[in-house]
Structure 1
Amino acid sequence: MTSIDQNALAQVFINARTHNAWTDKNVSDEKLRELYELMHYAPTSMNCQPLRILFLRSSEAKERLRAALMPGNQEKTMNSPVVAVLGYDTKFYEHLPRMFAHNKDAKSLFEGKPEHIQTTAFRNSAIQGGYFILAARALGLDVGPMSGFNNAVVDAEFWPEGNIKSNFLCNLGYGDASVLFPRSERFKFDEVCEIL
Structure 2
Amino acid sequence: MSESTDVLQIDKEAQDLLFRAARTANTFSGEPVSEEQVRAIHDLVKFGPTAMNTQPLRVALLRSEESRRRLAPLMAEGNRAKTVSAPLVAVLGFDSEFHLKGERFFPERAEMVAQAFADETGRIPAARLNAALQAAYFIIGVRAAGLAAGPMVGFDAAGIDAEFFPGGTFRTFMMVNIGKPGADHPQFPRLPRYDYEDVYTEF
Common fold by TM > 0.5 = yes
Whether the aligned pair in 2 keeps the contact of 1:87 and 1:164 (CA below 8 Å) is: yes
- RMSD (Å) for aligned C-alpha atoms: 1.3
**Corresponding position of 1:78:** 84
Whether the aligned pair in 2 keeps the contact of 1:87 and 1:166 (CA below 8 Å) is: yes
Number of equivalenced pairs: 194
Partner residue of 1:108 out of 115, 118, 121: 115
Distance (whole Å) between structure 2 residues aligned to residue 192 and residue 43 of structure 1: 23
Q: Secondary structure at the match of 2:125?
A: helix
Q: Does 1:6 align with 2:12?
A: yes
**Corresponding position of 2:127:** 121
Q: CA deviation at 1:162?
A: 4.1
Q: Does 1:26 align with 2:28?
A: no
Q: CA deviation at 1:191?
A: 2.1
Q: Does 1:175 align with 2:181?
A: yes
Q: Which runs of 5+ in 2 are unaligned?
A: 1-7
Please give the TM-score of this superposition, normalised by the length of structure 2.
Answer: 0.91
Whether the aligned pair in 2 keeps the contact of 1:97 and 1:106 (CA below 8 Å) is: no
Distance (whole Å) between structure 2 residues aligned to residue 40 and residue 64 of structure 1: 29
The 5 Å alignment of 1:1-196 reads 3-104=9-110, 105-111=112-118, 113-176=119-182, 178-196=185-203
Q: Cα deviations across residues 77-100 of structure 1 (Å, max 9, x unaligned)? A: 100000000000011011112101
Please give the TM-score of this superposition, normalised by the length of structure 1.
Answer: 0.94
Query: In structure 2, what residue type is equivalent to 1:82?
Result: L
Q: Cα deviations across residues 134-155 of structure 1 (Å, max 9, x unaligned)? A: 0110111111111111111111
Q: CA deviation at 1:73?
A: 0.5
Whether the aligned pair in 2 keeps the contact of 1:50 and 1:88 (CA below 8 Å) is: yes
**Corresponding position of 2:3:** none
Which structure 1 residue ranges, 4+ long, deviate > 3 Å from structure 2? none
Q: Cα deviations across residues 131-177 of structure 1 (Å, max 9, x unaligned)? A: 00001101111111111111111111112114210010000000136
Q: CA deviation at 1:46?
A: 0.8
Distance (whole Å) between structure 2 residues aligned to residue 151 and residue 103 of structure 1: 32
Distance (whole Å) between structure 1 residues aligned to residue 196 and residue 86 of structure 2: 34
Query: In structure 2, what residue type is equivalent to 1:181?
Result: F
